[in-house]
A = this chain, B = another copy of it.
């Protein structure tokens, strides 16, 4: 913002706290901010802006971290116990959390959903899903031992040979992309991460 503030005598200051967004009116009472959707000065797209004090709420894409995990020539799959796509198979993956690295997030999701302990090897793929504003970072990982067991979000887990992958029962297209991208890179290292396949839906 290069321009002078259009809120010179704002009676409130909007902040983020444990209680969500709130406004402090004349430095005392907490009130609900009066948000309107507008383009802030110096910006080029609409944001939620407090009409009184000018506080801007930014909404940005979210990161999904996950891994294609292997033990010998098998890959680790989990059958979802939660919606959406309950009952369908996936590679372990989920929302990245604050204060962790992408690698730590991927290993955490593996542990939570499959009970497996893994060593993250390298970045297999970066998939942009613009329709839901998600960036998927999928790693390759080696299991430290063949142990796996369903976590709270999984009905069952399995170490599956390539010929046994349940292609018709995968939860999402990204799961299929990740498995195929993995298969094409076995034995390779130091490669650019795969992207979303051309022409994919």
- Point out residues on A near B: beta carbons under 8 Å: 1-2, 18-21, 32-33, 35-37, 42, 44-45, 48, 57-63, 81-82, 95-103, 112, 122-123, 126, 128, 130-131, 133, 135, 137, 152-153, 189-193
Contact = CB atoms under 8 A, between A and B. Distances in A.
Q: How many copies does the complex hold?
A: 2
A44 B60 CA distance: 24
Given A123-B192, A130-B100, A18 B42 contact: no
B48 A20 contact: yes
A161 B19 CA distance: 50
A102 to B, nearest CB: 6
A128 B32 CA distance: 34
Given A97-B60, A123-B126, A152 B20 contact: no
B133 A61 contact: no
Contacts of A102: 126, 128, 135
Given A61-B100, A135-B137, 20 more contacts: A2-B152, A18-B37, A20-B57, A21-B21, A32-B32, A44-B112, A60-B62, A60-B95, A60-B98, A61-B96, A61-B97, A61-B98, A63-B63, A99-B131, A103-B128, A122-B192, A126-B137, A190-B192, A191-B192, A192-B193
